[in-house]
């Protein structure tokens, strides 16, 4: 083959390679831009209320708090593979980084329950404050942080000994928390409209940041790479906060009645699950604008995100009539219909 023809063949191959790369990139972008949709409903059944849930993508599991038990669901089949039982009133689940133990904030018993992640059997219980609610594992200090909703403090538990090593007061009712893996833990203070930052090693608050246009912050998520916090609030707002300076940089609109937030590092998307029956998707790479408001179901206010499958799991049930109001309970919640509890699976085809 002469030099001219070799040159032309080389150029054709180069152009073809560029074309293939562009096609692959376009395909990846197209997947990232596709809207989320409901893919499935997994029937769990049973009775009782619920709170937070947590995905374990490496083991294809999701842990769901459900009244006096935690359901363990296989995310490949949608079927229950176990349960942690004998509890009083569960709120949240945290997992260690070694795949050995999990931790449940059992608010009804004022305990943190430690369980074996292979057998789902209880290992021990650790007395916390009053009504432990939000809970998170900090990998930098190998400690579990339980945020006690009624005693307005934090119980810090050494994961090696399962002993409380510190109790830290907070300026109001704590809600959900996140750990950045570098030694800082963050928590929403619902009654003060604030985020507090803790030094996990020193076990003390190092900053308190007031949120603007953000009432009763509950769910909290974090973009650890870009150091951004996402707090979901009443009033249909999400507060986007710089995790180092505390500066609030955006307040995108979300749905009504949020209680959980999550973040996709791969797709740079923040999620808010809203009790009124929507899932808000916020584009964190392009101005923090809401790009989707997916109808889900009434009561689907909590969720978790599986970053391997790119799936959002929400929980809810069907409701009956609310009981009569009383002076002690002026705004009673509607009754939950038996055996209607389910997981809603959201993703992109």
What DSSP assignment string belongs to 108-124? TTTEEEEEETTT--EEE
pTM of the model: 0.89
Task: Count CB atoms within 10 A of the CB of residue 310.
Answer: 17
| Percentage, residues of the chain above pLDDT 90 | 85
Q: Residues with Cβ < 8 Å from 145, sequence gap 6 or more?
A: 135, 136, 137, 138, 154, 155, 156, 157, 177, 179, 185, 198, 200
| pLDDT tens, position by position, 249-304 | 999 999 999 999 999 999 999 999 999 999 999 999 999 999 999 999 999 999 99
When pLDDT is averaged across residues 112-122 and rounded to a whole number, the result is 98
The residue with greater pLDDT, 298 or 34, is 298
Burial of 270 per CB tally in 10 Å (0-12, 13-18, 19+): buried
Residue 120 has which token pair?
A: 């789902």
When pLDDT is averaged across residues 99-128 and rounded to a whole number, the result is 98
The residue with greater pLDDT, 72 or 6, is 72
3-state SS class at 33: helix
Q: Which of 139, 207, 132, 209 lies closest to 167, judged by CA?
A: 132
pLDDT > 60? residue 13: no
Q: Which of 279, 265, 281 lies closest to 314, judged by CA?
A: 279
Q: What pLDDT does residue 155 have?
A: 98
Q: Which of 254, 225, 224 lies closest to 239, judged by CA?
A: 254
pLDDT > 60? residue 16: no
Residue 47 has which token pair?
A: 């009775």
Q: What pLDDT does residue 33 have?
A: 62
3-state SS class at 85: coil
Q: At 178, is the pLDDT very low, low, confident or very high (cuts 50, 70, 90)? A: very high
Least confident interval from 12-26, 49-63, 81-95: 12-26
When pLDDT is averaged across residues 169-178 and rounded to a whole number, the result is 98
3-state SS class at 322: coil
Q: At 328, is the pLDDT very low, low, confident or very high (cuts 50, 70, 90)? A: confident
| pLDDT tens, position by position, 75-97 | 999 999 999 999 999 999 999 99
What DSSP string runs through 207-272?
Answer: EEEEPSS-BS---EEEETTTTEEEEEEBTTEEEEEETTT--EEE--B--SSEEEEEEETTTTEEEE
Checking DSSP bridges between strand 248-250 and strand 258-264, what pairing results, if any?
unpaired
């Amino acid at each position: 083959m002469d030099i001219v023809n070799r040159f032309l063949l080389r150029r054709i191959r180069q152009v073809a390679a560029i074309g293939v790369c562009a096609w692959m990139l376009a395909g990846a972008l197209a997947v990232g831009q596709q809207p989320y949709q409901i893919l499935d409903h997994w029937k769990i059944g049973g009775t009782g209320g619920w709170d937070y849930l947590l995905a374990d993508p490496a083991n294809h599991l999701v842990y769901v708090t459900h009244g006096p038990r935690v359901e363990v669901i296989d995310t490949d089949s949608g079927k229950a593979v176990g349960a942690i039982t004998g509890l009083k009133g569960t709120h949240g689940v945290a997992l260690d980084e070694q795949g050995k133990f999990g931790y449940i904030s059992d608010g009804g018993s004022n305990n943190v329950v430690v369980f074996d992640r292979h057998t789902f059997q209880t290992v021990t219980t650790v007395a916390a404050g009053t009504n432990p609610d939000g809970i998170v594992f900090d990998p930098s200090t190998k400690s579990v942080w339980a945020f006690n909703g009624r005693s307005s403090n934090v119980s810090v538990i050494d994961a090696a000994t399962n002993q409380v090593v510190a109790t830290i007061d907070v300026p109001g009712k704590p809600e959900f928390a996140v750990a950045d893996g570098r030694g800082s833990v963050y928590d929403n203070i619902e009654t003060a409209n604030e985020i507090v930052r803790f030094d996990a090693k020193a076990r003390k608050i190092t900053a308190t940041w007031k949120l603007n246009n953000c009432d009763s912050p509950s769910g909290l998520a974090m973009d650890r790479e870009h150091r951004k916090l996402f707090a979901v609030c009443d009033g249909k707002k999400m507060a986007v906060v710089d995790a180092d300076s505390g500066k609030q940089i955006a307040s995108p609109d979300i749905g009504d009645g949020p209680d959980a937030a999550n973040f996709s590092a791969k797709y740079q998307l923040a999620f808010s699950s809203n009790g009124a029956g929507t899932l808000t998707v916020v584009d964190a790479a392009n101005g923090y604008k809401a790009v989707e408001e997916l109808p889900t179901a009434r009561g689907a206010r909590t969720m978790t995100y599986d970053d391997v499958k790119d799936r959002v799991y929400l929980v809810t049930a069907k409701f009956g009539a609310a009981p009569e109001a009383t002076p002690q309970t002026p705004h009673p919640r509607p009754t939950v219909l038996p055996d209607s509890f389910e997981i809603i699976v959201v993703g992109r085809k």
